[in-house]
Amino acid sequence: MLSAAIENGTTGKWYGRIIEFPGTIAKANSRGELLQNLESEVNEYILWLKHYNEEISISIHEKIIIKEEVFNVTRLGESGGTVALFEFDKQPVTSKRLRYYLKLMEFSRQSLLELISKIPLDKLSEQLPNSKRTTTQILIHIANAEEWYKSRLGKEADIQYEKYIGMSIDRLDKKPVLERLEHVRRGCIYVLKNLSVQKGAKIFTRDAYTNYPKEQWSFNKVLRRFIEHEREHFYSIRKWMKESKNRFPKPST
């Protein structure tokens, strides 16, 4: 049996993930549709890990139960909106668990780069259906989001990050998008490793760089958002490629 944590936003959108599988993410316009999409996401997730020779001992036919449900999440699914803090987010992240999260982040980044490599350069500036962004803009958005997730850990996280990357944020922002993605990810991983013990299972807020200073965070929530967010945009790019009349080679999972 698998446990799901789902949230419903003021936008009307529904998002969910499987608690046992960090980085799983599904979205829908109704609760029923979300539960169906979560079943598909479990299959997708298992295939994704197998692609990187990471086996998990779980049947694709496991029943999914709703363990946590949060309603009225402000601007859920919109850029700059909030996401729920679940009870499972409040658990401390062990060093073993942190290593596993970081491994999943590596798999997620590899998947994204493998996918992007199949897109001709002249197509990177095409706007995706049902999106305000092009592929290039999505990649910039991912880098921006990761810097923001890191910043939820406090001012010390920003100081450590800027010291590690060895350049001003303005200079980093001007780097080619793939190079910037690499620098941002390395800097964020450095911060995550350094602050994991300090943050522990604490619940915290930060009023910098947000319209919602009371949004609650934990180290666990920060970690899962790195993977969930990137996987969500991986799916949107892949969907666009599949629907683009076979202009691209068939992407792998």
Query: 8-24: per-residue pLDDT in tens?
Result: 999 999 999 999 999 99
**Range(s) of the domain holding residue 28:** 2-84
Residues 33 and 112 in one domain: no
Q: Which pLDDT does position 127 carry in this prediction?
A: 87
Poorest-confidence range of 26-35, 89-98, 119-128, 169-178?
A: 119-128
- In this structure, what are the phi and psi dihedrals at residue 230, rounded to the nearest 5 degrees? -65, -40
- The angle subtended at Cα 98 by Cα 57 and Cα 76, nearest 5°, is 85
Q: Is the pTM of this model over 0.85?
A: yes
Q: Given the DSSP bridges, would you call strands 64-73 and 2-9 parallel, antiparallel or unpaired? A: parallel
Check whether 91 has a pLDDT greater than 60.
yes
Residues 199 and 118 in one domain: yes
One domain, residues 93 and 79: no
Taking residues 149-159, report their average pLDDT.
Answer: 98
Angle between helical axes of 155-165 and 177-199 (0-180°, round to 10):
140
The mean pLDDT value for 224-228 works out to 98
Same domain (yes/no): 12, 92:
no
Same domain (yes/no): 92, 193? yes
| Residues 157 and 173 occupy one common structural domain | yes
Cβ 7 vs Cβ 70: under 8 Å: yes
Given a cut of 60, whether residue 52 has pLDDT beyond it is yes
Query: Does residue 21 belong to any structural domain of this protein?
Result: yes
Work out the percent of the chain whose per-residue pLDDT is above 70: 95
**pLDDT for the residue 253:** 53
CA 33 to CA 71: how far, in whole Å? Answer: 16
Q: Is the pLDDT assigned to residue 251 strictly greater than 70?
A: no
Give CA–CA dist 237/249, Å, rounded: 13
Q: Give the confidence band of 56 by pLDDT, cuts at 50, 70, 90.
A: confident
- Residue 211, both tokens: 């319209």
C-alpha gyration radius of the chain:
18
Pairing of strands 14-18, 26-28: antiparallel
Cα separation, 147 vs 171, whole angstroms: 14
Confidence of residue 193 (pLDDT cuts 50, 70, 90): very high
Assigned domain for 249 exists: no
| pLDDT band, very low/low/confident/very high, at 95 (cuts 50, 70, 90) | very high
Judgement on whether residues 99 and 56 belong to the same structural domain of the protein: no
Question: Which pLDDT score, from 0 to 100, does residue 143 have?
Answer: 98
Domain stop point among 61, 84, 107: 84
User: What mean pLDDT value characterizes the chain?
Assistant: 94
Amino acid letter for position 117? S
- Mean pLDDT value of segment 219-230: 98
Residues 17 and 116 in one domain: no
CA dist 199 and 202 (Å) reads 6
- In the three-class reduction of DSSP (H, G, I as helix; E, B as strand; rest coil), residue 236 is classed as helix
| Distances, alpha carbon 58 to alpha carbons 1, 6, 161, in Å | 9, 21, 37
Q: Which two tokens stand for residue 74?
A: 């402000």
pLDDT of 132 strictly over 90: no
Mean predicted confidence (pLDDT) in 81-100: 96
Q: Band the pLDDT of 215: cuts 50, 70, 90.
A: very high
